[in-house]
Amino acid sequence: MALIVQKFGGSSVADPECIRRVAKRVAEEYDEGNQMVVVVSAMGDTTDHLIELAKELNEKASAREMDMLLSTGEQQTISLLTMTLNAMGYKAISFTGWQAGILTEDVSSKAKILSIAPHRIEEKIAEGYIVVVAGFQGATESGEITTLGRGGSDTTAVALASALNADFCEIFTDVDGVYTTDPRMVPEAHKIDRISFDEMLELATMGAGVLHPRCVEVGKEFGTKIHVRSSFNHNPGTIVEHFDGKAIEKQMSVSGVAFDRNVAKISIFDVPDRPGSAARIFKVLSEEHINVDMIIQAGQRRNENKISFTISSDDLDKTKTLMEEMKWEFHAKDTEYIDNIAKVSIVGAGMITNPGVAAKMFDILAKNMINIQMIATSEIKVSCAINEDDLEKAVKALHAGFGLDMPAE
């Protein structure tokens, strides 16, 4: 008997037929004698529709009210799936995030999970129930409802699996696993059978939407293996886990290409060249929980610098307001906000030991007449900010250039 946490994303629970399919899949495992905890997302595009609805009524709705609204999406699914299981004759019960004991920071719309007190889940499992938990949500110490950020149900699932010491955490989605790049953009992409937490973390952080980056972080921290697979077939998917050194050496230098369209670039010109200027700008942003990705500081003229950085486009409005205040504080002459930026990254564990990988990336982009606006590197990735119009060309060229295209049959 194993304790299994399964998570089903929006497309896997999009309509009654899908919910029945999920219920059958959960029941199959339960019938084998396993204890089941199931995390679900909102049905189909429900979250997007709720956001549109809110915008129609208030363009600048508070983050608190958005969390209140968006958390209802997952609540519909938990009760519908539970009812379906009940109708099939199974003992099942649904829990919202806070009923499941998920305590988060007091940050609306992208709260991190602080702890999980899963005793209600454990009690119900012991009584033989299938427990269905709403993904993407939790509550603060004072009882405020919070959400974990788009795609956050993955993190609910891996965090629950870690807290419950589950034997498996399976993330069911609409593709067969983690691919060398998004198979919707590059049909030649192929499925990766096994990937390390570190590489997966970089791919997810750099935009591979198949997993929420924070679920990979949690998996890595607690050693919780993640199996990403399709809810539409029984094919083996991708195992995300710790790799030993030997396996890493066998890796190719580049194992995947990730991209993110949702990037904005901000520049502040004529920032005083003195200690503390950069600290001030980035402290203000961090206080508002705005993640900054790439940063470039370039001497502009004597005693003045240009500071450019990238953020998620979702944070652009908030950042504009903050940077206009900074401009005033620094007596800076100008600011610039560009939204049609994208980021393309190559990721691979063997990259540090393969000099020339970055050079090859820049060469491939240059041969395709793609201008690089910013560069960032880590031990296992190289990222370039480029014009969004060039993105598809860049991803396809890099995928082919690094030998990732599926060999022709």
Q: What is the contact surface with ligand ADP in residues (CB under 6 A)? A: 9-12, 41, 151, 173-175, 178-179, 181-184, 208-210, 256
Query: From CA 132, how far away is CA 36, in angstroms rounded?
Result: 8
Residues 5-24 that bind ligand ASP (CB under 6 A): 9-10
Total of chain residues touching ligand ASP, rule CB under 6 A: 12
Contact flag: residue 42 with ligand ASP (CB under 6 A): yes
| Type of residue found at 34 | N
Question: CA–CA distance from 67 to each of 78, 112, 148, 149, 401 (Å)?
Answer: 17, 14, 9, 10, 43
State the CB neighbour count (10 A cutoff) for residue 317: 13
Report residue 199 as tokens: 């590489």
Q: Which residue is nearest to Mg ion (CB)?
A: 151
Tokens of 378: 């880590």
Q: Smallest gap, in angstroms, from Cβ of residue 201 to ligand ADP?
A: 13
Q: Where would I find the H helices in 32-87?
A: 46-57, 63-87
d(CA 122, CA 100): 10
Nearest to 152 by CA among 65, 212, 227, 64: 212
The entry of Mg ion, ligand ASP, ligand ADP, none that residue 219 binds, CB within 5 to 8 Å by partner kind: none
According to CB under 5 A, which one of 138, 151, 219, 256 is a site residue for Mg ion?
Answer: 151
Nearer to ligand ADP, 209 or 350 (CB): 209
**Binding letters toward Mg ion, positions 100-139, x by CB under 5 A:** ----------------------------------------
Interface region with ligand ASP, contact rule CB under 6 A, candidates 17-25, 27-35, 145-153, 273-281: 145-153
Q: Which is nearer to ligand ASP, 210 or 344 (CB)?
A: 210
Nearer to ligand ADP (CB atom), residue 6 or residue 146? 6
Site track for ligand ASP across 107-136, x = CB under 6 A:
----------------------------xx
Rule CB under 6 A: is residue 138 a binding residue for ligand ASP? no
Joined tokens for residue 191:
């499925």
Six-digit token string for 297: 């500081």
Q: Are 147 and 111 in contact (CB under 8 A)?
A: yes
Is 391 in contact with 261 (CB distance < 8 Å)? Answer: yes
Q: Does 207 participate in binding ligand ASP (rule CB under 6 A)?
A: no
H-run or E-run covering 201: helix 197-205
Residues that bind Mg ion (CB under 5 A): 9, 151
Residues that bind ligand ASP (CB under 6 A): 9-10, 41-42, 47, 73, 135-136, 150-153
